[in-house]
Amino acid sequence: MNGVVGRLLAAERWTILCHENPDADTLGAGLALCLTAGHLGKVAEVVCVDPAPPSLSFLPGVDDVRREPGLTDSMVVVVDAGDLARIGSLYDTHAAWLASAEVVNIDHHVSNPGYGQAAWIDAGAAATCEMVAALVPALGVPLDEDIATALLAGIVNDTHAFAHPNATPRTLRVAADLVEAGASLHRITRAIYSDRPYPTLALWGLMLAEIEQRADGRIVHTSMTIDMRRATGTELSASEGFIDLLASTRLGEVTVLFKETAPAETRVSVRTASAVDAVRIAAAFGGGGHARAAGCTVEAPLAEARVRVLEVCQRELAAVDAGRH
C-alpha cells in the first residue's frame, strides 16, 4: 500500500476510473477516493462508461460520476478492474492518454496482472472497498459518514451481505468500523438487495423464464437479451444482483448469466459454489475475477457465446470430478 499512498499524495489531480457495468464495489471505491481527494485539497473526478444502476442512487456523489474524463494531466487511479480493458470503451478511445499517464491500480481480483506504475493487489480482501477503507486513513483522512457509506456498500455487494465465504474476520472488523463512522448497514443492504423498481423485476422475470440446466442441474444458466431490456424499458445495469438469485439453486455448482450487449458481443457472469474455478472459465475468453465469481466479454452473438462458454463450464466441471476420484 505504501507505494500507492506516496503517489496519491504527490499528485494534485486524480481521474478515478471504474469498470464498465459498474457495481457497488467499483463505484464505492471510486467515490470514496474522490471524497478523500476533496479532504486533501486535490481535484478529482470519477469516470465510468456505463451509468450506475438505480439501486446505487444512494451513494454519495454518484450523480457526479462522468462518462468521459474531463481532467488533463491527471494521475489515473483504476479501482476494482482486474484488467485495464475492464474500463470499457475508454480503453480504446483514450489509449494514448492511458499510455502516457501515471496509472495506479487498486484491486482485489486474483487475476489482476499488476498493470500500472503502482499496483496494490490484495486477493485476500473481500472487496476493493475493504482495501480503500484502510487506504483512506493512511492518506491522513478520517472516515466520515459519506466515505463510510460508499465503502460499506462495496463490501455488502461483494460479500452478498456477508453471506459469501470471502467475508473474513478482517472484513467484518472493517465493516464494523464503517458502521461506527456513520454508515447504515440496514439502509445499504436494503437498497442493494430489496428496493428493486418494477421494470427491474419484470426483466428478472423474463430472465427466470429462460432458465436452463445441464449436467443434472449442476450447471444453471440463463440469458438477458436486448429485446428483454427493450420490452421492460431497462438498462444493462438492471441485471446487477440477478446472478446471486440465479446462484441460489440447490444443486447448481456453476451458474452463468449471458448478457447480450450488441449483436456480436455478449458479457458473461460466472458464479461457482464448488471446486470449479470461475476464473478458469472466464480466462478462457480473456476475462478474470475470483475463484467463485468471474466475468468476461465474448465477441460473438449470444447463441454462439452460450455454446462456447457452456462447453468450457462442462469441461471444468468434468476436470474437477476427475480429480475427486
What are the grid coordinates assigned to 121, written together?
493487489
pTM for the complete prediction? 0.82
> Residue 197 — very low, low, confident or very high, per pLDDT cuts 50/70/90?
confident
Q: Give me the chain's average pLDDT, please.
A: 94
For the chain, the domain total comes to: 2
Q: Select from 134, 163, 193 the last residue of a domain.
A: 193
Is there a single domain that holds both residue 122 and residue 135?
yes
Q: What is the mean pLDDT of residues 42-56?
A: 93
Hey, what long-range contacts does 212-218 have (CB within 8 A, 24 or more apart)?
Answer: 213/249, 213/252, 214/310, 214/314, 215/314, 215/317, 216/251, 217/249, 217/250, 217/251, 217/252, 218/251, 218/252, 218/253, 218/254, 218/317
Residues 157 and 299 in one domain: no
Mean pLDDT, to the nearest integer, of 151-179? 95
Question: Which residues have CB under 8 Å from 88's CB, separation 6+?
Answer: 19, 20, 21, 49, 50
307/208 same-domain check: yes
Nearest residue to 256 via CA among 272, 238, 234, 239 = 272
Rounded Cα–Cα distance for residues 179 and 184 (Å):
6
- Which pLDDT tens digit goes with each residue over 82-126? 999 999 999 999 999 999 999 999 999 988 999 999 999 999 999
Any idea which of 33-42, 56-65, 246-255 has the lowest mean pLDDT?
A: 246-255
Residues 246 and 263 in one domain: yes
Indicate the residue among 142, 174, 193 that finishes a domain.
Answer: 193
**pLDDT given at position 194:** 83
**Residue 69: CATH number of its domain:** 3.90.1640.10
Instruction: Please indicate, yes or no, whether residues 174 and 240 belong to a single structural domain of this protein.
Output: no
- Cα-based distances in Å from 21 to 53, 89, 167, 241: 8, 11, 23, 12
H helices of 237-301, in order, are 242-246, 278-283
Q: Which residue in this structure is represented by grid cell 500500472?
A: 116
State which residues form the domain around 39.
Answer: 2-193
* Cα–Cα nearest to 213, from 202, 201, 221, 205: 221
Both 171 and 315 in one domain: the answer is no
**One-letter identity of residue 276:** V
Q: Where are the alpha helices (DSSP H) in 40-144?
A: 90-93, 95-100, 128-138
Distance (Å, rounded) from C-alpha 132 to C-alpha 150?
10
Q: What confidence category does residue 241 fall into, taking pLDDT thresholds of 50, 70 and 90?
A: confident
Counted residue by residue, the chain has a size of: 325
Distance CA(205)–CA(109), nearest Å, equals 31
**110 Cβ contact partners less than 8 Å away, ≥ 6 residues apart:** 123, 279, 288, 289, 290, 291
Q: Are residues 163 and 218 in the same domain?
A: no
Side chain identity at 175, as an amino acid letter? Answer: A
Residue 208 shares a structural domain with residue 94? no
pLDDT digits (tens, 9 = 90+) for 2-12: 789 999 999 99
Q: Alpha-carbon torsion 112, 286, 226, 290, what sign?
A: negative
Q: What is the CATH number of the domain that holds 293?
A: 3.10.310.30
With a pLDDT cut of 90, the percent of the chain lying above it is: 82
- Predicted confidence band at 325 (pLDDT cuts at 50, 70, 90)? very low
Does residue 297 share a domain with residue 210?
yes
- The DSSP H or E segment spanning 15 is strand 13-17
Q: Are residues 174 and 214 in the same domain?
A: no
The angle formed by the CA atoms of residues 164, 265 and 311, to the nearest 5 degrees, is 60
Residues 171 and 126: beta-carbon distance below 8 Å: yes
pLDDT over threshold 90, residue 165: no
| 178 and 216 in a common domain | no
Residues 67, 91: one domain? yes
Domain end: 193, 210, 232, which one? 193
pLDDT bucket at 249, cuts 50 / 70 / 90: confident
Contact in structure between 153 and 192 (CB atoms under 8 Å): yes
